[in-house]
């Protein structure tokens, strides 16, 4: 199960610099619009101290952390919904992501041009929002035309539910608001809504890219963004992308810690970004320890044991019999699987078991 995050924003806000910090790839970062044309794709590991603790205890030959996919998407301009700039390509790339990391420029620098001649993160946010809303409104309107006939002529109850939900989205989008503001009351509606693939229905986190002086204290631009998104169900993360790129070049852990202390930060922005992005999609981690490998796996909160097994291999889910589960804290306290088993801390769980964050699991299956 892969999870993909799209880094989006206006041109020259620091998207590619940020991508280079969090990704194993090195995207081109330059001071001109459309430096990024094709989306840059990279993977980043999810920081998790528990994996280090388990590795020190089990001492496996191989340790594999959880990863997520990051996509650096070309900057958006006014008129993207009508094909301006790299409009259609940009919108298509966003559609393929699970969540959006919307980078906003919250720093002044005369050496970095802005397409509109001035720094205004709230204006930039609104431009991106409007273009995505226009595209979503087009999607919804086209779908209404198709479904309306089914709902009216065929007496199709499902079509009527789909149509009702489409009209709810249309009303919100026509008011210049995002589709994610529509409250979904039940699982059936949530399933229907997912099939619309609306751009503004994706979870979003606003990443405010500030200068070094504002990395710990914030600035006036940041406060304007906070005010602008008060009514949204969205997170804000403050990061100084240029500083993060310098931190990424440091070789030792000690050097990075010293650098962070000097600028007044406890944790690097990249670590906070990845952890916050993980939470944005309601994700959690379980571990497997077996043979030569300790591995972290990513699932959604609320997933049951067979679904978790399927992340490892589809055969595990199809032929699921049961899962042997050790709680992370029990493993750390007792020191090994053998000790946990002897102490009665290894539980046998069936198909209805809801996996908990940090579970150490072994699956029994038969295909």
Number of helices (H) and strands (E), helices first, in the chain? 14, 12
- Contacts of residue 192, Cβ cutoff 8 Å, sequence gap at least 6: 161, 162, 165
List, for residues 121-172, the tens digit of each pLDDT value. Answer: 999 999 989 988 998 999 999 999 989 888 777 667 888 899 999 999 999 9
User: Is the confidence at residue 5, as pLDDT, over 70?
Assistant: yes
The residue among 258 and 93 whose pLDDT is bigger is: 258
Percentage with pLDDT > 70 across the chain: 89
Average pLDDT score, the chain: 86
C-alpha distance from residue 42 to each of 55, 62, 66, 153, 314 (Å): 25, 22, 14, 48, 25
Cα distances from 126 to residues 104, 123, 228, in angstroms, run 11, 5, 9
pLDDT tens digit sequence for 57-68: 999 999 999 988
Q: What CA–CA distance (Å, rounded) separates 330 from 89?
A: 49
CA 295 to chain centre: 21
pLDDT tier at 39, thresholds 50, 70, 90: low
Rounded to whole angstroms, the Cα distance separating 169 from 167 reads 5
Bridge-partner residues for 62, per DSSP? 293
Per-residue model confidence as pLDDT tens digits over 65-124:
998 888 887 666 565 455 544 445 567 778 889 999 999 999 988 887 677 778 999 999
Q: If you average pLDDT over residues 352-367, what whole number do you get?
A: 95
Distance in angstroms (rounded) separating the CA atoms of residues 71 and 275: 17
- Distance from the Cα of residue 353 to its chain's centroid: 26
Q: Are 5 and 277 in contact (CB under 8 A)?
A: yes
The pair of structure tokens assigned to 265 is: 């930060």
pLDDT classification of 26: cutoffs 50, 70, 90: very low
DSSP β-ladder status, 293-300 and 320-326: unpaired
pTM of the prediction? 0.84
Question: Running DSSP on this structure, what letter comes out for residue 219?
Answer: -
Q: What percent of the chain has pLDDT over 90?
A: 52
Question: 36, 10 in Cβ contact below 8 A?
Answer: no
């Amino acid at each position: 199960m892969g999870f993909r995050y799209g880094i989006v924003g206006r041109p020259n806000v620091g998207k590619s610099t940020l991508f280079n910090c969090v990704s194993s790839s090195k995207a081109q970062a330059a001071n001109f619009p459309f430096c990024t044309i094709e989306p840059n794709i990279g993977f980043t590991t999810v920081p998790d101290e528990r994996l280090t603790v388990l590795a020190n205890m089990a001492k496996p030959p191989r340790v594999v952390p959880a990863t997520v996919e990051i996509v650096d998407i070309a900057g958006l301009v006014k008129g993207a919904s009508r094909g301006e700039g790299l409009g259609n390509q940009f919108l298509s790339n966003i559609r393929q992501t699970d969540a959006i990391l919307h980078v906003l420029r919250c720093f002044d620098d005369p050496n970095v041009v802005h397409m509109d001649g001035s720094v205004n993160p709230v204006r930039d946010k609104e431009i991106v929002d409007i273009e995505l809303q226009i595209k979503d409104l087009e999607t919804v309107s086209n779908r209404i035309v198709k479904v309306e006939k089914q709902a009216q002529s065929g007496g199709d109850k499902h079509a009527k539910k789909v149509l009702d939900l489409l009209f709810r989205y249309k009303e919100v989008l026509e008011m210049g608001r995002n589709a994610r503001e529509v409250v979904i009351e039940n699982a059936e509606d949530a399933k229907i809504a997912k099939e619309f693939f609306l751009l503004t229905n994706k979870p979003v986190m606003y990443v405010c890219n500030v200068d070094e002086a504002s990395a710990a204290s914030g600035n006036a631009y940041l406060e304007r963004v906070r005010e602008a998104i008060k009514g949204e169900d969205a997170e804000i993360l403050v990061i100084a992308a240029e500083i993060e790129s310098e931190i990424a070049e440091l070789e030792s852990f000690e050097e990075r810690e010293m650098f962070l202390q000097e600028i007044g930060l406890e944790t690097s922005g990249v670590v906070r970004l990845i952890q916050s992005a993980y939470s944005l999609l309601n994700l959690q981690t379980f571990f497997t320890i077996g043979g030569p490998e300790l591995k972290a796996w990513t699932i959604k909160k609320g997933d049951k044991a067979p679904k978790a097994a399927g992340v490892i291999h589809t055969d595990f889910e199809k032929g699921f019999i049961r899962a042997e589960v050790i709680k992370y804290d029990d493993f750390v306290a007792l020191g090994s699987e053998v000790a946990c088993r002897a102490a009665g801390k290894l539980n046998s769980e069936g198909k209805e078991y809801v996996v908990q964050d940090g579970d150490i699991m072994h699956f029994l299956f038969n295909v």
